[in-house]
DNA sequence: CTGTTAGCGCTTTCAT
DNA sequence: ATGAAAGCGCTAACAG
C-alpha cells in the first residue's frame, strides 16, 4: 500500500481511503490511485486489516457433513450469498460431535470470522456462542434450534411435514406405518417423530413402539430393522423415513428383500424420481434454508439488533408413486 | 497474550513460545503459563500471527461446485486432513467460470492462505497461480491438470477408465455405442472421449460422430439428444455417460422414454445400485483424490521442494446390470 | 532458558 | 480533501 502511495505521491492513508470507497477523496486522485493499484497489482493484505479492525471478511459455516447432499446444496447457497457480500466461507463439518464442534467454533473465532452460521451439534458449549454474540459476532443457527440462546434461527417445519407425509399414507389405506428416524439426540428426528405420532393420533391409530426405529441410519441397521418388522405378528404395510439417509438405506434394503411396502420419505434426494416406483417425499428446500440463514446473518452484520428471529420454512409433499400404493384399509 | 504474561510474571515472548510449543521453555514455567491460559480463556489472535508470519493456518479449496456429490465427498476428505494439521478450510465454487475462479484465488491469497488446492477452471489465469507458488504458497491441482505450471497434480485415470467402460459394452455385444461427455472445454470430458475412441478403434469399430454428444449435462439436452439418437437410421444399442451428471440426466430421460439401451457411466453415484437394473459404472474415488491432494499439499507446506508430482488414481468397473444387457452382436 | 526491541500492513484518530 | 502518528497482537532476531 505504501508502494502505491509513493508511486502516486500521496500518503498511505489516502490509498486506504480509496480501497475502502471512502467518499472524502477527490475523484481525480482516486482515479490516479486506482490506476496505480491496477498497474502494480496491489491487493490489500486482509490480515493487517483484520488485525486493526478485529473482524475478518469471512463467515464460518459449521454443519454436520459437507458430503451430505442436503448440506452440500445448502453450503452452495450460502456461498453465493457470502460471495455477493465480498466475503469468503470457512466450512467445517462437526460430524455430530459436540467437542469437535466446540473446537471448530473456537478456530473460527480466533480467525476473526465476521459471523457464524451453524447447525448446532447436540451438547455444544452454548456459552461459547453466547460469548461470540456478545462480542458482536452474529450467530445464526439452522436445521436445529439452540434453545436458551436468543439467536436467529431457520428451521424446516419438521412436524407439519411429517404429519403431511404420514397422513398421506393413512389416506391411502395404511394403518400399520413404521417410522425410521435419526438418533433420539437429533432435534429434527424428535420433531418428525412427534409429527408421525400426531398424524396417527388424528386418525385414531394407536402408536405402536414396535414400529418406531430411532437410530443412526446405516445399511445393516436398515436390514435388521426391516427384518424385525417383517417378523411382527402384524407387520407394517407402509414406512415413513425421517430423513434422506434413512430413505436411501431403506430403499436399498427393500430392494434386496421385497416387502411391498408403501413408502414416504422426509427430504428429497437425487433419483427419487427415477426409481420405480418414484419415491414420494416431503421436500424441504436446503438452498432456501441456506439463503435465508445467510440473509439473516448479513442483516445482523450490517447492524440490525432487533429481537432474534425464528423462521420456519414450509415443506411440501411430492407424490411419485411409492406413497400411493394402496394399503389394506383403502377407503 | 500480554495479560497472560503479566499474570504469570513473564514476558509475552515466553507465552508465545509456549503457545507455539517451543522447546526452550522450562517445563515448570510452561505449566504455569498453560494454567493461566486456561484460566483466562486466552486464545491466540490468528490475525496478528498471520500479519507477522505472512501465512495463515488456512487452506483454500477451489472447486467447481460444493453441491456436486463428487466434490462434496472430496471436500470432506480434504477437510479431515486439513483439520488433522490444525488448519481450516476456505471453500469456494468456481461454477466453471474462469473470471470468478481468478477472483476467488485472489481472495484466498489476500487472506494469506498457506496453500491452495484447486480444480482449475478452463481459462484461468495461470500466472496468478505461478506467482503464488513463487511466494511459497504451495498449489495442488486435482481432477484436471494445469499444463505449463510445474504443480503437483492428482488425476483419475480418465482415459483408461473410459476404455474399460466402453470395452465392457463391446464385450457384451454392442457396436453402436453413444458417448455423452461434458463440454469440450472440460479436460476430463476430452480424456474420456479419447478413451471411448480408443476402445472403439481397438475393436475395429468406426467412430460415428452422430453418436457423440459433448455438452453441459441438462435435462432437456438429455431428452433431445436421446430423441435424436433414436431417430437415427442405425440407432445406438448402448450409452456410455462421461460423468455422473450425465448419468443422472440420461437415466431420468430414459426412464420416461424406454429405449432398452445398455448403459455404463463414468463415476459412481448414490442409488446406482438400487435402480433396476443396477447401473454399471466406472468408479473413481473422490475421497482418495481429496486425501492425496491434501497430502501432497502438506508435504510442500512442510518444506518438500522436490519436482512436481503427477499422481494418477486408477478406476474400477462395477458391474450392476445395466451394462450387461446383451447387444445384437453377442458373442 | 528468558527478555527486549522492532515491525508485519493496515486503519483509527486527530490535525491540517 | 489529505496527512502524521500511533497501535492492533503477535513473533523474528538478537541479546543475555
Helix axes A219-230, A244-256, angle to 10 degrees: 60
A212 Cα to chain B: minimum distance (Å): 24
Looking only at the bridges linking them, the beta strands covering B58-63 and B115-118 are: parallel
The answer to whether the C-beta of A76 is closer than 7 A to strand C is no
Q: What is the pLDDT of residue B331?
A: 67
Is B309 part of the contact surface with chain A (CB cutoff 8 Å)?
no
- Spell out which residues of chain A touch residue B93, defining contact as CB-CB under 8 Å: 76, 79
Give the mutation candidate from B89, B263, B271 for the A interface (greatest A CB count, under 10 A): B271
- Tens of pLDDT, residue by residue, chain B (331 residues): 888 999 899 999 999 999 999 888 999 999 999 999 999 989 999 999 999 998 999 999 999 999 999 999 999 999 999 999 999 999 999 999 999 999 999 999 999 999 999 999 888 988 888 888 888 899 999 999 998 888 999 999 999 999 999 999 999 999 999 999 999 999 999 999 999 999 999 999 999 999 999 999 999 999 999 999 999 999 999 999 999 999 999 999 988 777 789 999 999 999 999 998 999 999 999 999 999 999 999 999 998 989 999 999 999 999 999 999 998 887 6
Based on its alpha-carbon atoms, the radius of gyration of chain B, rounded to whole angstroms, reads 25
Report the C-alpha gap between A226 and A183 in whole angstroms: 17
Question: Whose C1' is closest to the CA of A14: which nucleotide?
Answer: D2
Is A93 part of the contact surface with chain B (CB cutoff 8 Å)?
yes
Give the full edge-to-edge strand order of the sheet including A152-156: A310-313, A152-156, A139-142, A115-118, A58-63, A88-93, B88-93, B58-63, B115-118, B139-142, B152-156, B310-313
Out of B44, B89, B275, the one facing A90 most closely (by C-beta) is: B89
Report the C-alpha gap between A59 and A296 in whole angstroms: 13
CB B116 within 8 A of CB B133: no
Q: How many residues does chain B have?
A: 331
* Interface list for B 254-293 with A (CB within 8 A): 255, 269-271, 273-276
Q: Which residue is nearest to nucleotide C7 (CA to C1')?
A: B52
Q: What is the pLDDT of residue A255?
A: 81
Note the CA–C1' distance, B25 to D15, in angstroms. 17
The answer to whether the C-beta of A31 is closer than 7 A to strand D is no
The answer to whether the C-beta of A40 is closer than 7 A to strand C is no
Q: What is the pLDDT of residue B56?
A: 94
Nearest residue on chain B to A107, alpha-carbon basis: B88
Is A58 part of the contact surface with chain B (CB cutoff 8 Å)?
yes
Residues 34-63 of B with CB under 7 A from strand C: 48, 51-52, 54
Instruction: Tell if the CB–CB gap between A112 and B47 is shorter than 8 Å.
Output: yes
A72 Cα to chain B: minimum distance (Å): 4
DSSP state of B209: G
A252 Cα to chain B: minimum distance (Å): 6
B91 Cα to chain A: minimum distance (Å): 6
- C-alpha separations of A69 from A101, A218, A269, B76, B290 in Å: 20, 16, 8, 12, 17
Retrieve residue B265's grid coordinates.
457411466
Report the C-alpha gap between A93 and A100 in whole angstroms: 9
Q: What is the pLDDT of residue A155?
A: 98
CB A89 within 8 A of CB A121: no
CB A33 within 8 A of CB A18: yes
Residue B121 backbone phi and psi in degrees, to 5: -85, 145
The pTM assigned to this predicted structure is 0.93
Which residues in chain A show pLDDT less than 50? Answer: none
Give the full edge-to-edge strand order of the sheet including A262-266: A212-214, A177-181, A238-241, A262-266, A280-283, A316-318
Instruction: Tell if the CB–CB gap between A79 and B58 is shorter than 8 Å.
Output: no
Torsion angle (degrees, nearest 10) of CA B242, B248, B253, B254: 80
Q: Residue with C-alpha cell 447457497?
A: A77
Instruction: Tell if the CB–CB gap between A66 and B44 is shorter than 8 Å.
Output: no
Sequence-distant (6+) residues with CB within 8 A of B308 are B150, B151, B152, B153
CB A322 within 8 A of CB A262: yes
Instruction: Tell if the CB–CB gap between B47 and A51 is shorter than 8 Å.
Output: yes
Q: What is the pLDDT of residue A259?
A: 78
Is B111 part of the contact surface with chain A (CB cutoff 8 Å)?
yes
Amino acid at each position: 500500500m505504501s508502494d502505491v502511495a509513493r508511486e502516486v505521491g500521496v500518503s498511505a492513508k489516502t490509498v486506504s481511503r480509496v480501497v475502502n470507497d471512502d467518499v472524502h477523496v477527490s475523484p481525480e486522485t482516486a482515479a490516479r490511485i486506482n490506476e496505480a493499484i491496477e498497474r502494480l497489482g496491489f491487493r490489500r493484505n486482509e490480515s493487517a486489516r483484520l488485525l486493526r479492525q478485529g473482524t475478518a471478511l469471512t463467515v464460518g459455516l459449521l454443519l454436520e457433513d459437507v458430503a451430505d447432499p442436503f448440506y452440500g446444496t445448502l453450503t452452495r447457497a450460502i456461498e453465493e450469498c457470502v460471495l455477493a457480500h465480498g466475503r469468503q466461507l470457512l466450512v467445517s463439518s462437526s460430524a455430530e460431535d459436540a467437542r469437535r464442534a466446540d473446537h471448530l467454533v473456537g478456530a473460527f473465532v480466533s480467525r476473526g470470522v465476521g459471523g457464524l452460521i451453524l447447525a448446532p451439534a447436540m451438547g455444544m458449549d452454548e456459552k461459547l456462542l453466547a460469548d461470540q454474540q456478545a462480542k458482536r459476532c452474529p450467530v445464526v443457527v439452522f436445521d436445529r434450534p439452540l434453545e436458551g440462546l436468543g439467536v436467529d434461527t431457520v428451521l424446516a417445519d419438521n412436524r407439519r411435514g411429517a404429519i403431511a407425509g404420514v397422513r398421506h399414507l393413512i389416506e391411502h389405506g395404511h394403518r400399520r406405518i413404521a417410522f425410521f428416524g435419526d438418533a433420539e439426540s437429533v432435534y429434527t428426528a424428535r420433531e418428525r417423530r412427534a409429527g408421525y405420532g400426531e398424524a396417527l393420533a388424528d386418525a385414531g391409530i394407536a402408536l405402536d413402539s414396535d414400529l418406531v426405529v430411532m437410530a443412526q441410519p446405516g445399511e445393516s441397521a436398515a436390514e435388521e430393522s426391516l427384518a424385525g418388522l417383517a417378523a411382527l405378528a402384524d407387520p407394517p404395510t407402509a414406512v415413513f423415513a425421517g430423513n434422506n439417509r434413512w430413505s436411501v438405506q431403506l430403499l436399498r434394503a427393500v430392494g434386496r428383500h421385497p416387502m411391498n411396502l408403501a413408502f414416504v420419505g422426509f427430504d428429497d434426494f437425487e433419483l427419487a424420481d427415477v426409481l420405480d416406483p418414484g419415491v414420494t417425499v416431503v421436500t424441504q428446500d436446503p438452498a432456501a434454508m441456506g439463503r435465508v440463514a445467510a440473509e439473516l446473518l448479513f442483516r445482523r452484520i450490517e447492524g440490525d439488533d432487533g429481537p432474534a428471529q425464528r423462521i420456519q420454512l414450509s415443506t411440501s409433499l411430492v407424490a411419485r408413486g411409492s406413497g400411493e400404493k394402496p394399503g389394506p384399509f383403502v377407503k
